[in-house]
Structure formats: C-alpha cells, structure tokens
Amino acid sequence: MAVGIFDSGLGGLTVLDAVVRQLPQVPFVYFGDNAHAPYGVRDADDIFRLTCAATERLWEEGCDLVILACNTASAAALRRMQETWVPPDKRVLGVFVPLIEALTERQWGDNSPPREVAVQHVALFATPATVASRAFQRELAFRAIGVDVEAQPCGGLVDAIEQGDEILAEALVRSHVEALRRRMPRPEAAILGCTHYPLLEKTFRAALGPEVKVFSQADLVAASLADYLRRRPEFLGPGTETRFLTTGDPAQVSDRATQFLRRRIGFERA
C-alpha cells in the first residue's frame, strides 16, 4: 500500500513530512533525483524524460500512485504524462490542484464555469521553468475569472536551499519579493510555487508583510491526498516498505535531508 513521492531534489521532503503526519499508516517511497537537480533551468523535454524515469522507478517499488512533489515537473511534464504515457492502472498526480482548490474555494471535481473569486491579485513565486510553462495560470483560468497573477522566477533559490546556504537563500527571497512588488505593489495572496520554498516560509511572510495571505503547499497536498485515497483506495499499491531513494550521493543527500527535517533520514542509491 505504498505511495510514491517524487521531487528533483530535497524540497519534496516538505510534502512528505506533511503527508506522513496526515497518513501515518501509509508507507511512502521518496525518490529524489538529486543528480539532475535543479529541474527549474531545464527544458520541457528534459524534465519529461527525467520525471518519467523517476516515476517508473517508483512503480517498481510498488507505488501505483505517484505524487509529483515538484512544481516544475507538475508544470512541465504532468499533463503530457497523463495524456500520453501513464497506463490505466497507475496514477500520477501533481501539486497544483490543491493550491488552486484552496485559492478558488472550489473542489477539483466542480466543473461549473469559471467565476469570480475573493482574491484578485496573486503573486506566484516559482522556478524559471514553472513560470515559463504558465501551467498555474492555465489551470486557474479553468476555475476563476478576473484574477491577476504576477509570476516571479526565483533564479538561484533552489540551489541555495539544496546547498544549505541559509544566508544567501534569505537574501534571494527578499530580492525576489522586492522585484515582484515593483510590478504588483499590493498582492492579496502569494503562492509559494515550489516545494523547497516552505523551508523559507517565514522569510517570505516577513518580506511580503502581514496583509498578504501566503499559500504553502505541503499541508494542502497532504489533505488532498488523504481525500483522494479515501475515494480511490485501489491506487494504494502493493509496496509495504518506507524507503528513501536518490540518484545522488546517498551519504551527502542523507545529511542534507536530516538537516531539512531535523530527524535522521537515510537515503539509498536508486
């Protein structure tokens, strides 16, 4: 009954931590493609190829359901995977859906026409590849009208987080928030559109100010996954063991993951 969690690096551990709290009885297999991180500077075909390879590895671990806990992969590869590649007995889901459900206050299965929502000015902080895909704006437009989204590509931020350079990461957050505010001085809401960014949520909140509602993905994804599995328990795969896999150096990745989650995490080579 294992579920797969995939990210290009360590950011997806923020999602893993939340889903483990929500679903303590479910074993999870985490796959970090650390050897090829970051994905945010790669082209769409490259992201698709790498994401498919990681997903197949998680299927081998008995994970019939795989969560792309990576906004870049969700933006650049997920739709193509679902339409052309994923077999009927498997499911691959992304992390945009729970965010848009929360922002528009409507369930994903609600197929009524787009309508006005309470929030009109939204700041999106994401990787360059996620911003370039415009996937968030496309999915939002199916459900809401009149929402102005200003996207800020946060170059260098994932690298700084992965390298553990907290001073540089915080400086980059302040710089990116300042750059966005020059184009959108008064956002009502901010989307942290990368699973690495919750590690710096306090810095984002401080830079944005208390009047901006910040949407962070981990808890939203966890609640959405729990609801999905209640409705579709057949996609709890045959896997039974919690494991942590990486394409990078297991010892190095384990040390960084332990710093991320403040508990010991042991990675194996994928």
Burial of residue 163 (number of CB atoms within 10 Å: 0-12, 13-18, 19+) = exposed
Closest by CA to 11, choosing from 207, 217, 264, 220, is 217
Q: CB-side exposure of 166: number of CA atoms within 13 Å?
A: 8
Q: Is 52 a catalytic residue?
A: no
Candidate list 52, 63, 154, 194, residue with the active-site label: 194
Give yes or no for a contact between 44 and 71, defined as CB atoms under 8 angstroms apart: no
Question: Is residue 131 within 8 Å of residue 138, measured between CB atoms?
Answer: no
Helix, strand, coil % over all residues of the chain, rounded to 5: 50, 15, 35
Do 34 and 9 meet the contact criterion of CB atoms below 8 Å apart? Answer: yes
Of 64, 58, 8, the C-alpha closest to 37 is: 8
Tell which residue, 11, 5, 128, 135, has the closest CA to residue 57: 5
Q: Where are the alpha helices (DSSP H) in the chain?
A: 13-22, 44-60, 71-76, 78-84, 96-104, 128-133, 135-141, 157-162, 166-183, 201-208, 217-231, 250-261
Of 52, 63, 70, 154, catalytic: 70
Query: What is the set of active-site residues?
Result: 70, 194
